[in-house]
Structure 1
Amino acid sequence: MCLILSNHKTGDTEEIELRNKPFSMAIIDSNNVAISFPEKQEIAILNLSTISKHGPTKFKKVNGKCYTLTKYDDNILLVYIQGKGIHSYNMSKDEFKSLNIQIPSFVPHSDEICARNNRLFHTNRSSGSVFCYEINETNGSLLWKFESDLKRPTALTCDTFGNVYVTDYTSHQLYFISANGQSHKSLLSKKDKLWLPTFVYFCVERDCLLVVNRDNGYAASYSIKYAKIE
């Protein structure tokens, strides 16, 4: 497996070989990414400007198999540890902490998480649902559950306002879900070249979405435009 770096200005690409079966990736900033390795029970922090010469910046051992992970704020990653739930990892303090959010139906091999503005979102592929939890100091309470139209949600991301974008594997679509879970719409479909989409990421700096298909090597970036509702 490899990590593909693409320059959005020039279109140039570079491949970085990854070993030990990587599972999930979180973009920390323009120069650093975090990648989980469940079988090795560790998270690698990669500096993209030096990795070809020096390798990963560091490996962080995890007390269990670590699957989906996401960036929460400048210094914190969230990661699902099998059998132990969602944990935060403070990169500055180099410490893990349980979020005490009970997600009884979470399947680590297939379900994904993202977080923004004290909210944790996750997919449930088996039920075709997206869940939203509040993140606080003591526990996390369920705020809403979305289950309209989705057949097999595979990946999700959230924008600055807490809106959610989720790929649906079976229907080959990208859905928008409002921050309160009350409204939704299909943004992209097969006519937009989506086919078995498995990854989506919202770039805060550029207000754009990166969407990736599973099998055909197709990846595309889409600008997001917001309209004020009177």
Structure 2
Amino acid sequence: MASNTNICGICSLRQIRKTSDHWCPECEEALCNECKDHHKLLKATRRHEPIPISSYKSLPSFITDIQQSCDNHNEQYQLYCNQHALPICLQCINDHSNCNVTSLEKVTSNVKASGQFLDLESSLGDLLQNIERIKKNREANVTNIEKLREQHIKEIKQIRVEINNHLDNLEKQVLEELREKEFQCKESIQKVLLPVKERGSIITQCQLNFKSIKDYASDLQTYIGMRDLEVKVDENEQYLQSFIDTKGLEHLDLVYKVDTNVQNILNNLKSFGSIEIKNHISDIELTRAKDKQAQIQVAAPRKTVNDVKLIQQKKIITNGAVVRGCCMSREGDFLFTDPALDSLVIKSDGTLKYEMSVDPSNGFDITFVDDNNVAITSGHSLWKTGIDIINIENRSKIKFIELPGRAWGITRDHDSLFVCVSQFGIYRIHTADYTTSHVISCTLPSDSYVSIFADKIYYTDRLENSVVCCDSYGSRVWTFKDDSVLKCPRGITVDNDGNVFIVGESSSNVVIISKDGTHQKEILTKGDGLLKPTAISFDKQKKKLLVTNKEHSAFLYNVA
């Protein structure tokens, strides 16, 4: 940045002191109105685009400190070293002979229209939205706590009317507990709210800086300055994500539990009740541009059902009797569940690695919880209805999660398991503490399967020969039903583009349905070796599709 931007640089060389009105980013010099007019007429500078001096001064210092020329050689930057991430002049090239050097014009051309720049702009906006969302959520929680306090006070007072005066002391104790727990809730919330507000101020300033950069900074300044903003964006994204990871955004409620003896045994009453803080898993999901665009400069078009091609990679002999579930490990092992044999079968390179009994469960469907543990549903079992968590490294059962009905299809989405429970609907299990919640209430038949993509839940209904798509609140978005194409739908999975794959056991095929449910295509048939297929699994990282017949065999495909 020039030492004095308040006076015209050209006039100053002529020993004339005139106030500057403009700034030339290319020359890095302040200009008065008269000199600006001459500047636009000179052949060497007529293509320069001076900006108002006030606009230049609005740029953050880390941008104005970025120079257009080399300090060492006093030459204009013309090249860019990708290895060292800095601009260089032609004389600097000797110091970067082994580096990946490219034209400066190439890396800075249209930088403000680049995907990276637009992603940064979107990230700043997302950060502010996330901060505002958290602020509102926490403030609403405080308001709700206060309302619950008032509600519980009324309950306490109503009970107090019905009993005699000797309960005064107990009433004081429970009200004091209520105030203490309220204070604990607010104190806990404020620990999140105050630093979030501070971060909001920081990101607001970043956004103001970003707007100035967008409007007034040179392309070079923009390109170099973006890294500082990206560091702040990444830091604050991680900071906000830490609240999710550490359960800092769990919803707090004040819950008053009335002692059951209050109504019946006044003389022996030892407690007026208790005040508890009830934690709810936060429903806040942070919006991030990187999640939406995966740091690509131009979003890749999604594949439609007509674009999807399957290339068979191998055939696997399962020797199964009634295979109902399948999945693939990170190492490339194939896992199959066979309720007819009450077993979990693991195959590697097409050969049997080991077989493990899941008795007394039937072992219906399977999904990975993490690299070492799998979740297996109990299926037709009469003794236990729920999910076994099994460590496949030491071949041991480590936990059983009980559910209200028979558990069938299961899938994992991030830190949650989703499972079909006949006659009840779909349940969600949080893998951190294995707590359960009822997501969709419906009369599901047995042998239903489920899959998740983004905010949509997909499940099959073999009795209705249908595939149903719901939103995260359980409201139906679309239903696919065509008996001529799909009969007795079983396993279901979704690829990276939201296309839904379903196996039809009675139709012996795999049907792919578009994300919006409007288009479908039969992508595999009996001619491809399918005979009563029952299970299907898609590996989103490796882009491989595993399709399993009820008996004997399975097929692995590359999805192109």
TM-score bin (small chain): 0.7 to 0.9
Whether 1:199 aligns to 2:535 is: yes
Percentage of identical aligned residues: 27
Candidates 33, 37, 42, aligned match of 2:374: 33
- The structure where strand makes up a greater share of residues is 1
Letter in 2 for 1:33: V
The residue type paired with residue 161 of structure 1 is D
Task: Letter of the 2:420 partner, please give it.
Answer: Y
Instruction: Answer yes or no: is the 8 Å Cα contact 2:376–2:388 preserved in 1.
Output: yes
Mapped pair 1:187 → 2:523: yes
Q: Give per-residue Cα distances to partners, 1:101-123, cap 9 Å, x unaligned.
A: 2434x21x222211121111111
1:45 and 1:169 mapped to 2: Cα distance? 27
Q: What one-letter code is carried by the residue in structure 1 that aligns with 2:442?
A: I
Give 3-state SS (helix, strand or coil) of 1:191's partner: helix
Within 2, Cα distance between the matches of 1:151 and 1:160?
25
Amino acid at match of 1:88: R
Higher helix share: 2
Structure 1 equivalent of residue 546 of structure 2:
210
Is the contact made by 2:424 and 2:442 (CA closer than 8 Å) also made in structure 1?
Answer: no
Aligned equivalents of 1:67 and 1:186: distance in 2?
Answer: 25
- Is 1:126 matched up with 2:470? no
Aligned match of 2:211? none
Matched pairs, number = 212
Unaligned segments of structure 1, at least 5 residues? 226-230
What is the RMSD computed on CA atoms of the aligned residues?
1.7
Q: How big is the shift at 1:84?
A: 3.1
Contiguous gaps of at least 5 residues in structure 2:
1-340
TM-aligned CA distance change 1:128 to 1:81, over 3 Å? closer
SS of 2:397 mapped into structure 1 = coil
Q: Distance in 2 between matches of 1:65 and 1:132?
A: 22
Question: Where does residue 106 of structure 2 map in the other structure?
Answer: none
Work out whether 1:46 is the aligned partner of 2:390. yes
Matches within 5 A, 1:103-114: 103-104=442-443, 106-107=444-445, 109-114=446-451
* Distance change (3 Å), C-alpha of 1:60 and 1:132: same
What is the CA–CA distance in structure 2 between the aligned matches of 1:143 and 1:132, rounded to whole Å?
A: 5
What residue in structure 1 maps to residue 501 of structure 2? 165
Q: Is the 8 A contact 2:449 2:490 kept in 1?
A: yes
Q: Partners in 2 of 1:13 and 1:30 — Cα distance?
A: 20
Amino acid at match of 1:48: I
Which aligned pairs between 1:58-207 and structure 2 lie closer than 5 A?
58-73=399-414, 75-99=415-439, 101-104=440-443, 106-107=444-445, 109-135=446-472, 139-148=473-482, 149-207=485-543
CA-CA distance at 1:210 after TM superposition = 0.7
CA shift digits 1:156-211 (9 cap, x unpaired): 11122221100111221111111111111111111111000011111112111111
Letter in 2 for 1:128: N
Q: Residue type of the partner of 1:72?
A: D
In structure 2, relative to structure 1, the CA distance for the partners of 1:110 and 1:209 (3 Å cut) is: same
Amino acid across the alignment from 2:477: L
**Partner Cα separation in structure 2 for residue 146 and residue 64 of structure 1:** 26
Return the letter of the residue paired with 1:103: C
Structure 2 distance, partners of 1:164, 1:72, is 15
CA distance in 1, matches of 2:421, 2:507: 29
